[in-house]
C-alpha cells in the first residue's frame, strides 16, 4: 500500500498543512510583539500576557466558559453515549430513524438556525413555565444538544467495532446485561469517552453563534467577548489570549492522542497474549 | 461466595430480569437522549415555525401569539403569511441566499480539489505516518474556529504577513487589498473547513482495495484511467460526505463573512443575525430561518444517506 507517493501528492499535502498552520504560528508570533501596532515588530515581550491577567472582563468570561464547558461535556458524554448504545445495540425500536436523524442533523445544521430555534424555545418556555432564565443554564442546555451528537458519532464507531465475546461470556457466567456491559465493554470505551469529553469541551468553549443567541444579559462567554473585540480590529491582547487557548487545546489533544494510542497498543497486546 | 442453591434460585430470576430488560429496560437507555434531543433540538423548529406566522409586537417576547382564546371560549388561530411574502418581495433575502449558495459551492469545490490529493496522499503512507498526519489535520479542528479566522486576518490584512512578504520580495509595489473582499471570504471558508473534507475522504480512501488498481494496471489501463474508473467511483461516499460537511455549514456561515468580508458580502447568516439583533424582527427572522431550512433539507438528506452508508460499510 505504501511506497511511491508522487511528488504531486507530497506537495499538495505540504501546501494543505501549511495553509492550516501558518496563520496560527504567525498569531503566536505576534502575541510576543512588544509594539501595540500590529504591523511593527517592536521586539520580544510578554507584556500582552501580563495585560491579560489584569483584564477582568476577559477573566470573568473565561471562568464562565470553563464552567459551561465542564457541565456541557459531562452531560454530553452521558447522553451521547446512551444514544450510541441505543443505535448500536438495539437494532429495532420505535423511533430509531428519528434518533438517527436527530443525532446526525446537528453536525451539519448551520449554527445560526439551531441558535435561533433554541432561543425561541427558551423564550416561549420562560413565558409559559417561568423557566429557564437566559444565561448559564440555557447555554449549557443548548450546547449539550449539539455536543452530544459529536459524542454519539465518536462512541458509536468504537462500540460497533467492539468485540462482544467477553460481554456474552460475562452474561453466561451470570452477570446481568448492564453489569456485563459495565465490566467488559465499558473499559474498552474509556479512550473514546475521554476524547469525546475533550471534544465536547473544546466545541463548547469555542461556540460563538449559539451562545450569542441563547445567552442573556450579563452572561458573556469568552468567544462572545473575543468576537466583540475582534470586530473592532486586531488587538494585541487577543493575540496573547488566542495563543494561550490554542496551546492549551493543543497540549490537551496531544495528551489525549497519546493516551488513546497507548490504550490501543495495550488492547492489541492483550489480545495477542490471550491468543497464545 | 455463591452457593449452588443460590445460583439455582437466582437463575430464573435473572432470566426474568434479562427478559424484562430486553423488552422494556432498553427504553431506560433510549429515552433520555431521545427526549432531550426532541425537546431541545427538534421541537424548537416547531416554535420557530409557529413564530414565523406571528406579528411583531412591542412587548416581551417581541411577537404576538398565533393562538388566542376569546372570552366566549372561541379559539382563534391567526396566521400571518406576510413574513413569508416579505421574503419574496424584499430581494435582499433571495439575493443573499443565492450569494451564500454560490460562495459555499465554490469553496466546497476548492476544498475538494485540495483535500482529495491530501487524503489520497495520507492514505498511501505507512500506518505510523498516517496517524501522525491525521493528528496534524485534526489538530486545527480542535482549536477555536473563531480564533483561526482571526489568525487568518493577521496574514491577509493590509499590513499582514502576506503583503509584507510580497512587498519585501518586490512582487508588488503597494499592498494587496484582500481583507473585506469576496476572496477573503473564500479563503476563510477553505481554511476553516478543509479538515472536514479531508477526514471523510481519508476514511473511504483508506478502505480502498489496492488490488483493484493493480488489476486495472495489469489489464493495460493507464494510471489516470484506473483512477477515474476505479478510485473515483469507489470514493464517492467520502466525496459526498466531505462535500456536504463543508457545503451545508458554509451556506449558513456567519463569523467568516462578518470578520473577513466586506459590506457587500451579504451571506444569509449575516442577514439572519442582523434581522434578529439589529431589527429585532423575530417573526421575519424565524421565517428566514424556516425558509433556509426547507432549502437545506435536500443536502442534509443526501449527507445522512451517505454518512450512514459509510458507517455501515
pLDDT at residue B186 tops 90: yes
**Residue A205's closest chain B neighbor by CA?**
B144
- Partner residue facing B254 (CB), from A108, A112, A152: A112
CB within 8 Å of chain A, chain B residues 187-206: 190-191, 194-195, 198
CB within 8 Å of chain A, chain B residues 78-117: 114-115, 117
Question: For residue A82, is it within any domain?
Answer: yes
User: In sequence order, which residues have a C-beta less than 8 Å from that of residue A209 and are 6 or more positions away?
Assistant: A111, A112, A115, B254, B255
Question: For residue A68, is it within any domain?
Answer: yes
CA dist B236 and A62 (Å) reads: 42
What is the set of domains in chain B, with CATH numbers?
4-77 (no CATH), 85-312 (1.10.3720.10)
CA dist B169 and B176 (Å) reads: 14
Across the range B268-297, mean pLDDT stands at 89
Across the range A68-83, mean pLDDT stands at 96
CA dist A67 and A175 (Å) reads: 38
Matching residue, cell 464562565: A64
Question: For residue A243, is it within any domain?
Answer: yes
Tell me phi and psi for residue A173, to 5 degrees.
-85, 5
Distance from CA of B288 to the nearest CA of A (A): 9
When scoring B19, B28, B41 by the number of chain A Cβ atoms within 10 A, the one with the most, hence best to mutate, is B41
CB-CB under 8 Å, B146 with A208: yes
Question: For residue A90, is it within any domain?
Answer: yes
Q: What is the pLDDT of residues A231-252, one digit of tens each?
A: 887 678 888 988 988 888 888 7
CA dist B92 and B307 (Å) reads: 34
CB-CB under 8 Å, B120 with A253: no
pLDDT at residue B275 tops 80: yes
Question: For residue A13, is it within any domain?
Answer: no
Which residue has better confidence, A269 or B40?
B40
Question: For residue A46, is it within any domain?
Answer: no
Q: What is the pLDDT of residues A180-236, one digit of tens each?
A: 888 888 888 888 898 889 889 989 998 999 999 999 888 899 999 999 988 887 678
How many domains, in total, are found in chain A?
A: 1
Give the 3-state DSSP-derived string for B78-141, with helices as H, strands as E and coil as C: CCCCHHHHHHHHCHHHHHHHHHHHHHHHHHHHHHHHHHHHHHHHHHCCCHHHHHHHHHHHHHHH
Question: For residue A45, is it within any domain?
Answer: no
Question: For residue A229, is it within any domain?
Answer: yes
CB-CB under 8 Å, A127 with B61: yes
CB-CB under 8 Å, B17 with A16: no
**In this structure, what CATH number is given to the domain that contains residue A226?**
1.10.3720.10
* Buried b / exposed e along B23-33 (16+ C-beta atoms within 10 A): eebbeebbeeb
pLDDT at residue B310 tops 50: yes
pLDDT at residue B191 tops 70: yes
Q: What is the residue range of A142's domain?
A: 55-275
pLDDT at residue B179 tops 80: yes
Amino acid at each position: 500500500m505504501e511506497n511511491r507517493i508522487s511528488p504531486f501528492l507530497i506537495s499538495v499535502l505540504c501546501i494543505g498543512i501549511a495553509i492550516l498552520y501558518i496563520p496560527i504560528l504567525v498569531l503566536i508570533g505576534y502575541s510576543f510583539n512588544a509594539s501595540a501596532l500590529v504591523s511593527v515588530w517592536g521586539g520580544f515581550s510578554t507584556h500582552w500576557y501580563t495585560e491579560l491577567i489584569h483584564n477582568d472582563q476577559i477573566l470573568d468570561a473565561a471562568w464562565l466558559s470553563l464552567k459551561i464547558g465542564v457541565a456541557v461535556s459531562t452531560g454530553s458524554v452521558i447522553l451521547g453515549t446512551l444514544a450510541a448504545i441505543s443505535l448500536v445495540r438495539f437494532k429495532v425500536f420505535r423511533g430509531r430513524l428519528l434518533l438517527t436523524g436527530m443525532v446526525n442533523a446537528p453536525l451539519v445544521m448551520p449554527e445560526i438556525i439551531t441558535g435561533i430555534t433554541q432561543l425561541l424555545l427558551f423564550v416561549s418556555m420562560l413565558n409559559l413555565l417561568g423557566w429557564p432564565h437566559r444565561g448559564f443554564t440555557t447555554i449549557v442546555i443548548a450546547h449539550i444538544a449539539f455536543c452530544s451528537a459529536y459524542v454519539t458519532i465518536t462512541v458509536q464507531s468504537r462500540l460497533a467495532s467492539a468485540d462482544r465475546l467477553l460481554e456474552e461470556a460475562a452474561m453466561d457466567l451470570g452477570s446481568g446485561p448492564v453489569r456485563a456491559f459495565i465490566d467488559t465493554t465499558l473499559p474498552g470505551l474509556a479512550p473514546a469517552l475521554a476524547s469525546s469529553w475533550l471534544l465536547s469541551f473544546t466545541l463548547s468553549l469555542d461556540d460563538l453563534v449559539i451562545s450569542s443567541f441563547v445567552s442573556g444579559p450579563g452572561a458573556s462567554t469568552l468567544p462572545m467577548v473575543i468576537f466583540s473585540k475582534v470586530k473592532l480590529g486586531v488587538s494585541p491582547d487577543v493575540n496573547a489570549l488566542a495563543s494561550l487557548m490554542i496551546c492549551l487545546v493543543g497540549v490537551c489533544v496531544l495528551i489525549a492522542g497519546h493516551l488513546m494510542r497507548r490504550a490501543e497498543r495495550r488492547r492489541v497486546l492483550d489480545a495477542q497474549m490471550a491468543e497464545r | 461466595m455463591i452457593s449452588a442453591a443460590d445460583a439455582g434460585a437466582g437463575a430464573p430470576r435473572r432470566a426474568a430480569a434479562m427478559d424484562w430488560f430486553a423488552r422494556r429496560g432498553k427504553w431506560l437507555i433510549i429515552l433520555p437522549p431521545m427526549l432531550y434531543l426532541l425537546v431541545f433540538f427538534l421541537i424548537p423548529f416547531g416554535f420557530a415555525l409557529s413564530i414565523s406566522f406571528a406579528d411583531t409586537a412591542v412587548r416581551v417576547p417581541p411577537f404576538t401569539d398565533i393562538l388566542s382564546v376569546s372570552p366566549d371560549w372561541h379559539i382563534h388561530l391567526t396566521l400571518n403569511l406576510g413574513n413569508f411574502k416579505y421574503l419574496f418581495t424584499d430581494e435582499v433575502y433571495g439575493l443573499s441566499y443565492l450569494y451564500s449558495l454560490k460562495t459555499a459551492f465554490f469553496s466546497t469545490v476548492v476544498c475538494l480539489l485540495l483535500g482529495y490529493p491530501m487524503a489520497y496522499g495520507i492514505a498511501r503512507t505507512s500506518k505510523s505516518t498516517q496517524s501522525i498526519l491525521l493528528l496534524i489535520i485534526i489538530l486545527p479542528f480542535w482549536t477555536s474556529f473563531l480564533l483561526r479566522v482571526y489568525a487568518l486576518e493577521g496574514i491577509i490584512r493590509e499590513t499582514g504577513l502576506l503583503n509584507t512578504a510580497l512587498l519585501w520580495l518586490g512582487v508588488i509595489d503597494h499592498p494587496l487589498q484582500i481583507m473585506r473582499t469576496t476572496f477573503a471570504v473564500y479563503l476563510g471558508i477553505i481554511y476553516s473547513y478543509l479538515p472536514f473534507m479531508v477526514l471523510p475522504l481519508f476514511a473511504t480512501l483508506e478502505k480502498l482495495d489496492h488490488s483493484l488498481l493493480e488489476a486495472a494496471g495489469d489489464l493495460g489501463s493507464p494510471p489516470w484511467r484506473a483512477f477515474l474508473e476505479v478510485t473515483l467511483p469507489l470514493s464517492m461516499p467520502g466525496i459526498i460526505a466531505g462535500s456536504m460537511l463543508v457545503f451545508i455549514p458554509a451556506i449558513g456561515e456567519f463569523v467568516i463573512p462578518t470578520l473577513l468580508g466586506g459590506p457587500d458580502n451579504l451571506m444569509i447568516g449575516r442577514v439572519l443575525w442582523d434581522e434578529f439583533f439589529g431589527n429585532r424582527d423575530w417573526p421575519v427572522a424565524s421565517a428566514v430561518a424556516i425558509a433556509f431550512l426547507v432549502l437545506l433539507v435536500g443536502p442534509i438528506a443526501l449527507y445522512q444517506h451517505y454518512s450512514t452508508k459509510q458507517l455501515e460499510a
